[in-house]
Amino acid sequence: MADDRPASQSSGDFDPVPLNVRTADLPLRLASAGMMLAVLVLALWLGGAALDTFIYLVALIGFIEFMLLVFKATPRFVVRFPAVIAGAFYFGCAASIMTGAGTFLLVLVIGVTIATDTGAYFAGRAIGGPKIAPSISPSKTWAGLAGGMIASAGWVFAWVLAIDAPLDDWLGPRFELGLNMSLQNLLGAVLVGVGLAVVAQAGDFFESWLKRRAGVKDSSRLIPGHGGVFDRIDGLVPVAIVAGFIATQMVV
């Protein structure tokens, strides 16, 4: 869920901004992040209609911000109309998958997105190096991408092991997976984590490209220190779609 902000505000970016500038809004960002995490945990704990309503509300706000970016990016109706239709399908598909998913898939998707952002953030800061696509996101590095892939792979591996433990009853009746913890399946989980990290970064780049076309830094100012909802879920949306497709193939 990265964007084109200074280094202190986007995942996997590396930019020579003075430390006092990069950390000036850190308390605000941490407070906002804490609030978002608390709401997310509450929604997951409540489950049922409350969780579904939360997912659809987040998707709707993200879609509205997406439409506003499209309208700012181009005045041409012939471009706006199909973009809005595609966006409705994009966000709607992700929301439908998330509301229909069990606890395992929900936590996996959210964890992959967070792990990718975190791994990219720290690897990009620590290593820096060549940029991936300077014309789209001038601060995002290959090192950040690698860090995100490693963190995501580690998360999927750990989560698969965790849900196979004897204490998995807390997941509730929605959890029905029946994994076979063979070496082959564990390696498959690692590969899934790596692939989903790339998908998450692709979602980041898509929003970064759209914001550049629109000439804005954030999708909105709804979340203090973090921009808009779309800024927070730009990587999660495609990850949910791809993870949902993979889960469907596994069931079939």
Query: HSE of 165 in the Cβ direction (CA atoms, 13 Å)?
Result: 11
Give the separation between CA 150 and CA 91, rounded to whole angstroms. 27
Question: 105, 96 in Cβ contact below 8 A?
Answer: no
Question: 13, 137 in Cβ contact below 8 A?
Answer: yes
Amino acid at 154: G
Q: CA-based Rg of the chain, rounded to a whole angstrom?
A: 18
In sequence order, the 6+-apart residues with CB closer than 8 A to the CB of 62 are 91, 219, 228, 229, 230, 233, 237
- Among 69-78, 163-172, 206-215, the minimum mean pLDDT is found in 163-172
Other CB atoms within a 10 A radius of the CB of residue 27 amount to 10
- Confidence at residue 99, expressed as pLDDT on a 0 to 100 scale: 93
- Confidence at residue 164, expressed as pLDDT on a 0 to 100 scale: 65
In sequence order, the 6+-apart residues with CB closer than 8 A to the CB of 32 are 223, 224, 225, 226
Give the separation between CA 192 and CA 168, rounded to whole angstroms. 22
- Confidence at residue 143, expressed as pLDDT on a 0 to 100 scale: 93
Residue 249 has pLDDT above 70, yes or no: yes
* Residues written for the chain: 252
**DSSP H/E element including 56:** helix 48-73
Confidence of residue 226 (pLDDT cuts 50, 70, 90): confident
Q: Answer with the residue of higher pLDDT: 1 or 117.
A: 117
